Structure 1
Amino acid sequence: MTAEGNTGRRPAAALVACGLSLVLALVAVVLWSLAATSSSVAYAETRDTALQQGTNAVIAFNTLDHKNVEAGLKRWEQYSTGPLHDEIQKSHKDYATKIQQAKSTTTAKVLDSGLTELDPQAGKAKMIAVVQVTVTIDGQKPSTKQDRYQAELTREGDTWKLSNLGTVPVG
């Protein structure tokens, strides 16, 4: 066969390759579109929001300044709901007195956190967090400690709030 005999096959092969590429591109667009609108994306967004807002709440509950106790306790109320919120309101004066008497300032940083449960329909989640807290008592050098927390979150509208918070024993 001569080289001239193969020239008819080259345009046909190029057309088939082009058509196949077009079909593959369309399939990729359809699959991407389905993935972008799937319930797994909504679940992931809910999970990320709950974790971020829960993390912020844990930080708020571990950050207080004895010179501005009222602002700290208002943050506690803002980041809480349910029984935890009720307890804060009920014990507000006792908490304020104890914090002022301790003359301490605490600053928290979450080192790691994660959701252990999430029920978007019920608006409930559970999380764990490792928190580094720097404690400064007037006249003393700051000290740092690490605590592990387990928290329950409840969604109010679009906001996830702490409904329970407790330390997890080490060991």
Structure 2
Amino acid sequence: MARTMTRTPRGTPLLPAAAALALLAAGGAGWGGWSWYAAAHDESTAYATTRDEVLAAGEQAVQNMNTLDHRDLRRGLDTWQGSATGDLLAQLTEGRPEFERRIQQAKTVTHAKVLAGAVTELDTRAGRAGVMVALRITVTPPKGTPAAKESRMLGELTRTPGGWKLSALGQAPVAGTATAAD
């Protein structure tokens, strides 16, 4: 028996179509790779990531600084100091013995919950940032019922080798209240 070979007619578009699809796939892969690289190295993406880190660190640190239980005072104050740097850390360290005495006498439990937060300033080159955090602070006295109040805090953060930490913390001014300049 003789074998016969079947030839594809020269006008069949299968080979050019396959080549065109392969070229389109390679182009799509190249475009996707370039887009991914550009997005990964985009300064605005890095800035947004840093802003999110600052906000998370700021909210946690402000919450830490407004939460304290007299029954576990050492751990609470260690958390405070772990959340701070610079002058704030120095103040906490220097004033710790007196503060421990006052909290032990008062026998209070203070718990803060973050309601909202925002980055108010961010200078990535200088490693400085500012946050405003709204909290609900519940103070439980040794006898009596817990009292809750809402508070807004302004915090300054500094980038350290251990991450962003509070370098200053204070009450945010409330509209309609008198200030020292009035």
TM-score between both structures, scaled by the size of structure 2: 0.79
- Determine which of 99, 103, 106 is the counterpart of 2:107: 103
SS in structure 1 of the partner of residue 136 of structure 2: strand
Q: Give the percent of matched residue pairs that are identical in Structure 1 and Structure 2.
A: 39
- Determine which of 41, 53, 66 is the counterpart of 2:70: 66
Check if 1:155 corresponds to 2:155. no
C-alpha RMSD of matched pairs (Å): 2.2
1-structure distance, mates of 2:125, 2:133: 23
2-structure distance, mates of 1:111, 1:24: 45
Task: Choose 94-103 or 122-131, whichever is displaced more.
Answer: 94-103
- Amino acid aligned to 2:133: A
SS in structure 1 of the partner of residue 111 of structure 2: strand
Structure 1: gaps spanning 5 or more residues: 1-6
- Determine which of 54, 57, 66 is the counterpart of 1:50: 54
Aligned length: 165
TM superposition outliers: structure 1 runs of 4+ over 4 Å: 11-22
Compare the two structures and name the one with the higher helix fraction: 1
Q: Which residue of 2 aligns with 1:93?
A: 97
- Determine which of 103, 111, 125 is the counterpart of 2:129: 125
SS in structure 1 of the partner of residue 144 of structure 2: coil
2-structure distance, mates of 1:129, 1:44: 18
Following superposition, the deviation at residue 39 of structure 1 comes to 2.3
Following superposition, the deviation at residue 155 of structure 1 comes to 1.1
Structure 2: gaps spanning 5 or more residues: 1-10, 176-182
2-structure distance, mates of 1:154, 1:61: 16
Q: Which residue of 2 aligns with 1:41?
A: 45
